[in-house]
Amino acid sequence: MANKKNNITFSDIAKYTNFSKTTISRYFNHPETLTEQNRNIIAEALEKLNYKENKVAKILANGCTEFIGIIIPNLYVRYYSEILNQILSTYEAFGYKFLVFISNGSKEDERTYLQELLAYKIEGLIILSHTLPSIELANLHLPLVAVEREDVYISSVNSDNYQGTILACENLSSHDCEVFLHISAPTTRTTPAYKRVEAFDDYCEKHQLLHHTFMEEMGASHEEVKSHLTHILEQIELNYSGIRKGIFISGDTYANVFLNLLIRKYGYLPNDYFLIAFDDSPISREAIIPISSVSQQIDKIAFEAVELLISQIQAQKERPAFCEPVHKIISPVLIPRETTEKN
């Protein structure tokens, strides 16, 4: 019987259905050119013949790998691990598969990874790392979408970082904080996250609030982040003791470490500390005291990034030419939790 055969070919399917091999090929590569009745006949035949699609043969035939490359800075910061999780979960919606590399801030490594991805004939690239400038990435002449990084020459999907910071500051203001403190890793003006620095300063100056920004390289490991935040906490304790401190931290991972430092020192979250973060990655709600956070709506950013990239892939197949970068902005949402909403 036919269904005993291990490798069913287009010839077998054609013989079974009385269609030509050309018609069978059209079913796999351009099904829209067949009538619904003929598509149903072929689909039923595939099931009865126990046909297993040969992906390698399909790639060789039409040059479409259905692979998307991803380059991500690290997996320590929970924002990155969660957005990667959300991107990977779009497979059911779009049918694209992903090849993932972690750059760890090395330009040399990242260029090597790009060449490796290109060798696998990826159809597009989603990039979250900040290592290479967008003008260099644009010269790859590949459908490409950036997420929360410098994006002058390439398409991107970002959160509205400015508005998200205003939401955080308004929350801290509602608790009558006497000093506003912002903790952030260094960021350049061309990076979307720099809008958090601008918005924090703008809000505090507009409302004539005592404020200060701690901008310090955090590192990419728990030990490094803990060391830097310990130093910052010592400065806060020295300079702002006894007054209500509203602390806005750019990132849930850093906020969680800072919260743990406070709890280890006092055994609880002191009443003069009000803490709010940015991202709303899972760690903000998993923390020993759930952390108030500005949600970037990571699931929406991931979906929009993949959808935008696929639209570029399809457009390039139809008319191979340079397209102007498209920049999409996702509105943030404030998620108040126990680090500001105290009883």
Least confidently predicted of 61-65, 285-289, 335-339: 61-65
Residue after which a domain boundary falls, among 45, 62, 79 = 62
Instruction: Tell me: pLDDT of 61 over 60.
Output: no
* Contacts for 299 with CB less than 8 Å, ≥ 6 apart: 86
Strand-pair category, 292-295 with 333-335: antiparallel
pLDDT at 1: 38
Instruction: Tell me: pLDDT of 84 over 80.
Output: yes
Q: Do 122 and 238 share a structural domain?
A: no
Q: Do 74 and 15 share a structural domain?
A: no
* CATH code of the domain covering residue 49: 1.10.260.40
* Residue 35 resides in a domain: yes
pLDDT, average across residues 283-293: 96
Separation of alpha carbons 70 and 162, rounded Å: 26
DSSP of 224-238: HHHHHHHHHHHHHHH
Q: What is the mean pLDDT of the chain?
A: 91
Residue after which a domain boundary falls, among 62, 89, 110 = 62
| Cβ–Cβ under 8 Å, residues 153 and 320 | no
* CATH code of the domain covering residue 220: 3.40.50.2300
Instruction: Tell me: pLDDT of 317 over 80.
Output: no
The 10s digit of each residue's pLDDT in 101-145 is 999 888 999 999 999 999 888 999 999 999 999 999 999 989 999
Q: Do 203 and 132 share a structural domain?
A: no
The 10s digit of each residue's pLDDT in 158-214 is 999 999 999 999 999 999 999 999 999 999 999 999 999 999 999 999 999 999 999
Q: Do 282 and 209 share a structural domain?
A: yes
Q: Do 166 and 154 share a structural domain?
A: no
Separation of alpha carbons 57 and 256, rounded Å: 49
Q: Do 264 and 187 share a structural domain?
A: yes
Q: Give the number of domains in the chain.
A: 3
Q: How many Cβ atoms sit within 10 Å of the Cβ of residue 185?
A: 16
Q: Do 289 and 216 share a structural domain?
A: yes
- Domain of 218 in residue numbering reads as 161-296
pTM for the model stands at 0.82
pLDDT, average across residues 253-269: 97
* Residue 339 resides in a domain: no
Tracing tokens 């990084």 back to the chain, one arrives at 149
Confidence class of residue 49 from pLDDT cuts 50, 70 and 90? Answer: confident
Residue after which a domain boundary falls, among 296, 315, 338 = 296
| Cβ–Cβ under 8 Å, residues 215 and 254 | no
User: What are 249's strand-pairing partners?
Assistant: 183, 277
Q: Do 150 and 100 share a structural domain?
A: yes
* Residue 16 resides in a domain: yes
Q: How many Cβ atoms sit within 10 Å of the Cβ of residue 133?
A: 15
Q: Do 231 and 172 share a structural domain?
A: yes
* Residue 337 resides in a domain: no
Q: Do 264 and 177 share a structural domain?
A: yes
